[in-house]
Amino acid sequence: MAEPKPKTTIKLKAKDTSPKAQKSSSGPTVRTGRKPRAIPKKGEPLIVAEYLSKAFGKDAFALDDVSLEIREGEFVSLVGRSGAGKSTLTNMIIGEERLTEGRLFVNGWNVSLLKRRHIPFFRRQIGVVFQDFKLLSRKTVFENVAFALVVRGAPHKQIMEDVPRMLALVGLAGKEERFPHELSGGEKQRVAIARAFVHRPKLLVADEPTGNLDALYAWEIIEVLLKINELGTTVLLATHDRDIVNRLHRRVITLDGGRLIRDQEVGEYVL
Amino acid sequence: MLTFFRIVKFAFATVWRNVWLSFATTLVMFLALFMVTVLILLNVLATGALEVVQDKVDLSVYFVSDATTEEVNVVRTQLQSRSDVNTITYISKEQALKDFEERHSDNPLIQSALDELENPLQPSLIVKANTPDQYSAISEFLTSEQFSGVIEDVNLDDNRQIVEKLTSTTGILSQLAVWVSLLFTIIAVLITFNTIRLAIYTQKDEISVMKLVGATRTLIRMPLVLAAAFYAVVAAALSTALLFPVVNYIGPRANAFLGEVTVDIESYFFDNFWLIFLAQFTFAVVLAVVSSSIAMRRYLKK
């Protein structure tokens, strides 16, 4: 299937912080169409959320009126207690969950208007890491990582070059032929990260990637994510691990009860 | 082309890496196919037997001893004009005697009696109707007033009543066999569908992960559909292969059981071998492809 092509481009005005102006604003430079435009300059908005809400029933909100902007190259921790809305937000960003109100732009895609048939193409431009790894249990380590390239129609030669390089980057060289059940939790998460990063996405979303790991393995995973961020990829890390967030000294967005309560440039876990 | 090769590769990996599931699915499909095919073959056997039995019924028309050939021919022509008459065979007095002598060649008493007598036998016509239930009408026609001076006796085969009973019973049995075959086909379809659905169900987590990574529906669906088609091909091949010994075993025994009535099930099987294989193959593949597509739809939609 051919990759979808862009349809329209919406140019945004300079940002006005007043709620009224924000309501009428049309967001960053985005396309409601399919293929992202030429790579934006470093520092351009990569994720723009405007008044995002996700309602369950009449008065129950998983996410309530959340607006934020994440720029290229940032490493952002999204923190909050269980049920704060972290996973809802990350699921919206990867196009897994529909929003009830507001608008969401990710890497040039208007996720709020994303059609089902375009989701695969959208997903190919981001990388996702989950707490439960979500590896393909019947594929080897090599095949798991290669699958992210296969879905993009990458040629065999590229797969044979990129996959070993990526496995070396995450410290899994020599374990290519193992199956997920033959790996430790930390190794599984490294495979998941390698798969999420092998196609060099501009955005990597990690939803509680250390949730199933002990402290030592957890920090190793964070170090891999930091390495990926150094290579230019924006990392959005959803976590409730206070120690990790405090050690990172990076931007921290705090959610509580579905609302954004704090956004610190160099923040700490404060709840 | 690259995607096609990858789909085929993934399909074989699915079969190989789920070897027990593949084995169980193929086995169930094979049993379902084999059961339905054997039932259909038994149906053919029963229908063939019925045809042979029906073919044994005839109506004999005995003419008076001094009936001339012209008189016999008049009756014959009138019979030929009837739509319910299939064949008419004329047996002259001389032919009848010859046949009688041959039949009793080992009986010296009859032989010596025949030597002393003038030919006591009459010319006759052996009439075969299209279906057994038409004999009564033909018999009534021949016993009518217009032939009373020429025809001495109209004799329906002694077996007629038995055959009529058998015909009606076999008719019911044939209908029953069709319904049973249909029922078993439905059962086979449901079993196969559920087996494949179960096989796909075990892959539901993999399907959701593939979606998260950005795989298109085609890349997710096609390997699993191809794997299901592969199970179907193997099941059809196994079923056809097992039919060889089964037909070899059943054929002669069925013929021995039916006595004079012989239905060549082996010839039927070998004459229609490719048709039987292709029918099984098509049935199984279509069923597998449709089942797997339906089973996957819910996981692809989520």
| Nearest chain A CA: its distance from B10 CA (Å) | 10
Dist. CA A159–CA A179, nearest whole Å: 18
Q: Could you tell me where in chain B the CATH 3.30.70.3040 domains are found? A: 58-156
* DSSP structural state of residue B202: T
Name the 3-class secondary structure at A25.
coil
Please answer whether residues B246 and B39 qualify as being in contact, where contact means their C-beta atoms are separated by less than 8 angstroms.
no
Lowest-pLDDT choice from A15-19, A60-64, A121-125: A15-19
Helix (H) or strand (E) holding B294: helix B273-301
**Which residues of chain B register pLDDT less than 50?**
none
pLDDT band at A236 (very low <50, low <70, confident <90, very high): very high
CA distance A138 to chain B (A): 7
pLDDT band at residue A23 under the 50/70/90 scheme: very low
A135 touching B (Cβ < 8 Å): yes
Q: Phi and psi at residue A69, in whole multiples of 5°? A: -140, 130
Please list, in sequence order, all residues whose beta carbon lies within 8 angstroms of the beta carbon of residue A32, skipping any fewer than 6 positions away. Answer: A7, A8, A10, A110, A113
Residue B59 structure tokens? 């109506």
Residue A88 is predicted with a pLDDT of: 93
Model pLDDT, residue A31: 40
Q: Check if A35 contacts B (Cβ < 8 Å).
A: no
Residues of B in contact with A128 (CB under 8 A): 212-213
User: What is the predicted ipTM?
Assistant: 0.75
Mean of pLDDT over chain A:
84
How close does chain B come to A162, measured CA to CA in Å? 17
- Please write the tens of the pLDDT for every residue from A156-182: 999 999 999 999 999 999 999 999 999
Of A151, A155, A156, the CB nearest to B213: A151
Nearest to B296 by CA among B190, B215, B217: B217
**Minimal CA–CA distance to A259: which of A54, A15, A45?**
A54
* pLDDT tens readout for residues A49-66: 999 999 987 778 889 999
Mean pLDDT for the stretch of residues A107-126: 90
> What percentage of chain A reaches a pLDDT higher than 90?
66
**pLDDT score at B302:** 63
Query: In this predicted model, what pLDDT tens digit does every residue of A175-227 receive, in sequence order?
Result: 999 999 999 999 999 999 999 999 999 999 999 999 888 888 899 999 999 99
Cα separation of B61 and B6, whole Å?
76
CA B240 to chain centre: 16
Contact B6 A150 (CB under 8 A): yes
Q: How many Cα atoms sit within 13 Å of A213 on the Cβ side?
A: 26
Which residues of chain A neighbour B3 with C-beta distances below 8 Å? Answer: 153
Q: Is the pLDDT of residue A146 over 50?
A: yes
Q: For position A20, what pLDDT does the model report?
A: 37
Is the CB of residue A238 less than 8 Å from the CB of residue A90? yes
Confidence band for A19, pLDDT divided at 50, 70 and 90: very low
Q: How confident is the model at residue A25 (pLDDT cuts 50, 70, 90)?
A: very low
For residue A18, is pLDDT > 50? no
Please answer yes or no on whether B17 and A138 come within 8 Å at the CB atom.
yes
**pLDDT of A90 strictly over 50:** yes
Q: Do B209 and A128 touch (CB under 8 A)?
A: no
Classify residue B141 as exposed, middle or buried by CB count within 10 Å of its CB (0-12, 13-18, 19+).
middle
Structure tokens that stand for B188 in this block: 């086979």
The answer to whether B142 and B62 are in contact (CB under 8 A) is no
**What does CATH list as the number for B58-156?**
3.30.70.3040
Sheet of strand B151-156, all strands in order from the earlier edge strand to the far edge: B85-91, B124-129, B59-63, B151-156
Nearest partner of A250 among A271, A225, A231, judged by Cα: A225
User: Is pLDDT of A14 > 80?
Assistant: no
Whether residue A167 lies within 8 A of chain B, CB to CB, comes out as no
CB atoms near residue A84 (< 10 Å) = 24
Residue A219: CB atoms within 10 Å = 16
Say what the pLDDT of residue A94 is.
94
Alpha carbons within 13 angstroms on the beta-carbon side of residue B59 total 26
Say whether B214 and A155 touch across the interface (CB within 8 A): no
Cα gap A266→A253, rounded to integer Å: 10
User: Which pLDDT belongs to residue A145?
Assistant: 96
- Enumerate long-range contacts of A246-249, CB under 8 Å, 24 or more apart: A247/A219, A247/A222, A248/A75, A248/A77, A248/A222
3-state secondary structure of A95: coil
In the 8-state DSSP scheme, what is residue B246? H
Contact B299, B200 (CB under 8 A): yes
How far apart, in whole angstroms, are the C-alpha atoms of residue A65 and residue A19?
Answer: 11
d(CA A233, CA A202): 5
